[in-house]
């Protein structure tokens, strides 16, 4: 199923359709402010396992992020932040950044890394944030990408192409227009340190 939602003015009816698919335990593909992404509900482990299978990983191998609709929602899933870190996030979000942070007990252990951290995002995309708000909780997420026969990573930006290739593996693809080809910038904030571990679309001064 391919549905069209416009980022400038997300249609409530279509947003609800996407949210209902997630609430029912479905995997859908959505636009972000960087790459298109697979998403599912935070409490639907089987859906997260399905995403891992599509990407050729086990659940333990998969590196998921939590997509949040706001900094306030994000703060409910991490350990208390100091003033400097909070200021950094406030000045950077919403935006094309993934912040690796110390997870609290609200994050299921399935999605925490070995050192009990999790990547968190508040994307600058009205469609996605509206869907998250309609679900009421953050979404488990990993970017859409394929590895072709030459083992080269190909990021998919065209939602119609994504639907042609992956539509039979997910419940729904949300067409929010052509996506970006560059992933988010990843900043490791765990353990009180700040380090850019992947330079992507977002520019940030630490």
Question: CA 15, CA 13: separation in Å to the nearest integer?
Answer: 5
Q: Which residue has the higher pLDDT, 129 or 111?
A: 129
- Determine the pLDDT at residue 150: 46
The answer on pLDDT for 139 being more than 80 is: yes
Who's near 176: CB < 8 A, 6+ residues apart? 5, 6, 7, 30, 31, 125, 127, 128, 159
pLDDT, averaged across the chain: 91
Q: Average pLDDT in the 11-24 region?
A: 98
Residue with tokens 């790459």: 35
Q: Which helix (H) or strand (E) holds 166?
A: helix 159-166
Give mean pLDDT, residues 149-172. 79
Angle at 76 between CA 94 and CA 85, to 5 degrees: 55
* Mean pLDDT (whole number) for 46-66: 84
User: Which pLDDT does position 145 carry in this prediction?
Assistant: 78
Q: What is the pLDDT of residues 63-113, one digit of tens each?
A: 889 999 999 999 999 999 999 999 999 999 999 999 999 999 999 887 777
Residue 4: alpha-carbon gap to chain centroid: 19
| pLDDT tens digits for range 184-193 | 999 999 988 8
**How far, in Å, are 76, 121, 148 from residue 16 at the CA level?**
24, 21, 34
The answer to whether residue 115 scores a pLDDT higher than 80 is: no
- pLDDT computed for residue 197 by the predictor: 95
pLDDT more than 90, % of the chain: 77
Q: Average pLDDT for residues 142-166, to the nearest whole number?
A: 74
pLDDT at 194: 93
In the prediction, which pLDDT does 82 show? Answer: 92
* pTM greater than 0.85: yes
Per-residue pLDDT, averaged over 117-146, amounts to: 95
């Amino acid at each position: 199923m391919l549905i069209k939602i416009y980022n400038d003015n997300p249609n409530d009816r279509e947003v609800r359709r996407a949210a209902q698919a997630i609430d029912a335990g479905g995997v859908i593909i959505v636009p972000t402010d960087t790459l298109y992404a697979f998403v599912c509900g935070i409490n639907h482990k089987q859906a997260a396992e399905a995403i891992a299978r599509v990407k050729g990983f086990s659940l333990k191998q998969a590196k998921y992020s939590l997509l949040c609709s706001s900094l306030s929602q994000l703060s409910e899933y991490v350990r208390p932040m100091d003033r400097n870190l909070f200021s950094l996030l406030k000045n950077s979000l919403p935006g094309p950044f993934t912040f690796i942070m110390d997870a609290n007990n609200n994050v299921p252990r399935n999605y925490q890394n070995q050192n009990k951290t999790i990547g968190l995002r508040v994307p600058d995309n009205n469609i996605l944030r509206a869907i998250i708000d309609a679900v009421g909780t953050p979404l488990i997420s990993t970017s859409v990408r394929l590895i072709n026969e030459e083992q080269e990573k190909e990021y998919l930006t065209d939602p119609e192409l994504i639907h042609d290739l992956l539509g039979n593996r997910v419940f729904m693809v949300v067409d929010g227009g052509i996506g970006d080809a560059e992933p988010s910038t990843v900043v490791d904030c765990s353990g009180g340190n700040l380090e850019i571990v992947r330079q992507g679309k977002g520019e940030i001064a630490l």
